[in-house]
Amino acid sequence: MPSAKDHLITAIRRFLGCFSAGSSPAGADAADPVPVPAGSVTRGGGDDAPSLDASTGGGDDLIGSMPDQILSSIVSLLPVTDAARTAVLSSQWHGLWSSTPLVFQDSDLILARNFAGVAPVAEAVSRIIESHPGPFRTVTLTSYFPEAERDTFAGWIRAVAAKGVRDLTLHNIPWSGLYVLPSDLLHCCSSLERLHVRVWRFPATTGVLHRGGDGTPPSFPHLRELVLNRSSIEEVDLENMVACSPAMQTLVFVFSWGVPERVRLVSGSLRCVMLWQSVVAQLAVVAAPLLERIVLWGSSGPYYGYLMRIRISRASSIKAIGYLKPTAHRLQIDGTVIKPGLRASPEEVAVPSVKILGLQVRFGVAAEARMVSCLLRCFPNVETLHLMPVEDPRCPALLGDFEFWEDINSVECVRYSIKKVVFHGFSWKNSEIAFINSIIEGGLVLEKIYIFFRRPYDTISDEELNAKLSMVASLSIGLGRTEIIFSGEDQTWYYKIAADLSRADPFDCS
């Protein structure tokens, strides 16, 4: 359903479409993304302001009568071509574009019908950056240049940095010939609060970045979020970026494969680290006292069958961790590797801070059940457990009683701590039903189980589905303390949701 912002943008676009290029001031073209520079024209309404009445099309200028702050918000929501076009409406609108912090995505120009090639787009981007006085709020720049024209893209970075850009996305189309991100980024972007790097190789940082504390300010004093999307960065450069960003709270890797090979976290401010479809050999929380969440999605070791090592401390402040996958991850707490048959006492391997845990499990495998019990014993205070089944063609689908899941009844957090279980991608296999039955029987404080179905579930007939639905619904009737809630089809989980620190549960998409 369209949001209020969507309706507002649509209304403004339609409003602008009522004015032809002939109504533009002399020398201005309504299709030109760069407006006539303001400066001599003052703000405020005028006799030339077009009117818009919601019912008749005439009367008072309802849009023009809005406060300047709202008008600026309208302009900031529009694509840059439409935002610049507002200058032709009236004297009141003339200075809005230049006085509003710039929100600019060059894709608006790349996809525009009036730009037929790379050169006109590049020229328009340069004009927009030069003509707007700043500050720049959110800017997305795309490189489609060969190495010979590297300075064009580097010049854009320098220009937006000079005007105080806060949120910067640098996208690359690598087949054009430019692979390494211009190092200008490291010299001049001290205003950045968020940096999103897509399809780049990160430049060398040694001898370039400043950590501060020696009389010089840190290179990125305000950077709170760093996202490396399909990009590579050497271990030393990653460590330098984190060390030179004393305000960094969120570090995200998306489709990052093998470079860096290890992620070592040393930060006094970091609160969230995420690996989304990313491959590393080791994730080590070396010294990150404020780290609250470790989010792993489709992430494992560098080779098939090779476990990714995850090192955390008993004294950590981690509140949410997952999805841990026994077939892909090897958890190490302090110096102890967690595995079945471990003889260490609970005090030696317990991480009491964790309240939210996510697990990816092959429910039809007995060895997996033993590993799940080991992992659960490491987190005695878990209150919310997220589960996701892993497809394995070698596992029995519908046969068997799967008694091996009864062992989880004795796990401390299952009995005395877990209040909520969320099952994502439930596929109605008997092994999954056996797990739910066991956790209901053992969970003395378990209040709710939310079941999200996998889609599509065309491998099971409607009759069989209804029978299993009734079976699952009846599991909690005898004990009467747990409610099973069928929540419909599982929703798409996106890394931006999990990285949002305002959300208490990074695995909750509902």
In a domain? residue 219 = no
Mean pLDDT for the stretch of residues 179-186: 93
Q: Does residue 376 have a pLDDT over 80?
A: yes
Answer whether residue 77 is part of any domain: yes
Domain assignment present for residue 80? The answer is yes
> Does residue 201 fall inside a structural domain?
no
Residues 6+ apart with CB under 8 A from 60: 51, 53
Does 85 fall in a domain? yes
The runs of H, that is alpha helices, within 78-166 are 80-85, 91-94, 96-99, 107-110, 118-131, 150-162
* Mean pLDDT for the stretch of residues 266-270: 96
Higher pLDDT, 74 or 206: 206
Tell me the CA end-to-end span of the chain in Å, nearest whole number: 16
Per-residue pLDDT at 222: 96
The pLDDT tens digits of the residues spanning 433-444 come to 889 989 998 899
Residue with tokens 């479809």: 277
The counts of H helices and E strands in the chain are 16, 19
pLDDT of residue 306 exceeding 70, the answer is yes
Domain, as residue range, for 54: 4-100
- Ranges 165-169, 249-253, 342-346, 424-428: which has the least confidence: 342-346
State the Cα–Cα distance between residues 226 and 194, nearest whole angstrom.
6
Q: Is residue 414 part of a domain?
A: no
Q: CA 409 to CA 414: how far, in whole Å?
A: 7
Q: Is 67 domain-assigned?
A: yes
Residue 334 located in a structural domain: no
Phi, psi at 30, each rounded to 5°: -60, -20
Q: Is-above-0.95 flag for pTM?
A: no
pLDDT at 135: 84
**Which phi and psi angles does 433 have, rounded to 5°?**
-65, -40
Based on the structure, what is the number of domains in the chain?
1
